[in-house]
Structure 1
Amino acid sequence: MRFKNQQQSSSIPEVNLVPMMDVMMSVLTFFIITSMTLTGQRLGTINLPGIAGAGAGESEQKATESLVIGLNRQGEILLDSQVASVAQLSEKMQAYLAQNPEGTVILKADRELAYEEVVKLLKEMSKIGGSRVSLSIERS
């Protein structure tokens, strides 16, 4: 027996795409956040200074072509996350620049460090590397 207000079932099943799209957006968000955390080389606990409104790629160097030097909050030079002296820095930079004629040397200095100390180390580095020495900043 059939009721009057009961509709006949349609032959085409309905597919609700909203749950599937929610899952896809969650997966996409996960991969975006993961890829953002894996990019960029970090040195210890160095907190880089920032600049607002920097365009993409203006001051960016490829990490594979660059030697990254750290300068922590205590004013210690970091090579491969190990404290080093100016003599060790000089030796490492000369070896790197001899092997990589197009390479650059990037200084990542902590934002809490006095700028005079950063300038002092940059001068020492530029004596060795000339125009191939850069100061890294963080976009905010």
Structure 2
Amino acid sequence: MRFRESRDTPPPQVDLVPMLTVMMGVLAFFVVVTMTLGNEEMIDMKLPAAQPEEEQPPQPVTTQPFIVEMDANGGFRLNNTPTDKESLKAQMESHLTRNDDHVVYLLPDRELPYEQVMQFLGEMREIGGDRVSLAIEE
């Protein structure tokens, strides 16, 4: 009866050279990254001291906002006053020349086609530039 054949095989050897090469590459990478991040010059910055907040009441609006409403039937209203398209443009030009910091709002009816609203908004922006905004009601 044979139990086992005994062979004289040498134990397996682990080749450490490839593992050490990879480990040295990773170590070199982290050393280089650490050295480049550590050499940044600090910016000497002095922040102003915190100022106590003073509660100021909001300044009241001195002029009425310029709101143009477009009706579903094609009519225009300026601050709830019916007007036609040409006089509206003239009033808008005079309002924007008098008040440099005010904005003109266009409030269209929801039933109007999008194309018609955008076309009129474009005409208004030719007069007022970037001080014309499309408004929505909530």
TM-score normalised to the size of structure 1?
0.50
Q: Deviations over 1:79-121 (max 9, x none)?
A: 2323322210111001100111000000011111111111111
Instruction: Mark the runs of 5 or more structure 2 residues left unpaired by the alignment.
Output: 1-60
Take 1:125 and 1:87, find their aligned partners in 2: how far apart are those partners?
Answer: 11
Across the aligned residues of Structure 1 and Structure 2, the Cα RMSD in angstroms comes to 2.0
Residue aligning to 1:116: 115
On the 8 A contact 2:106/2:134 being kept in 1, the answer is yes
Identity %: 36
Q: List structure 1 runs of 4+ shifted beyond 4 angstroms.
A: 62-65
- In the alignment, the residues of structure 2 paired with residue 101 and residue 67 of structure 1 have an alpha-carbon distance, to the nearest angstrom, of 13
Within a 5 Å distance, the mapping from 1:17-28 to structure 2 comes to none
Q: Is the 8 A contact 1:75 1:117 kept in 2?
A: no
Q: Whole-Å Cα distance in 2 between the matches of residues 110 and 80 of structure 1?
A: 14
Structure 2: distance between partners of 1:63 and 1:70: 21
Greater per-residue strand proportion = 1
Q: Is the 8 A contact 1:65 1:103 kept in 2?
A: no
Q: In 2, Cα distance between the equivalents of 1:87 and 1:71?
A: 14
- Max Rg structure: 2
Structure 1, unaligned stretches of length 5 or more? 1-61
Distance 1:111 1:63, change over 3 A: farther
Secondary structure of the 1:74 match is coil
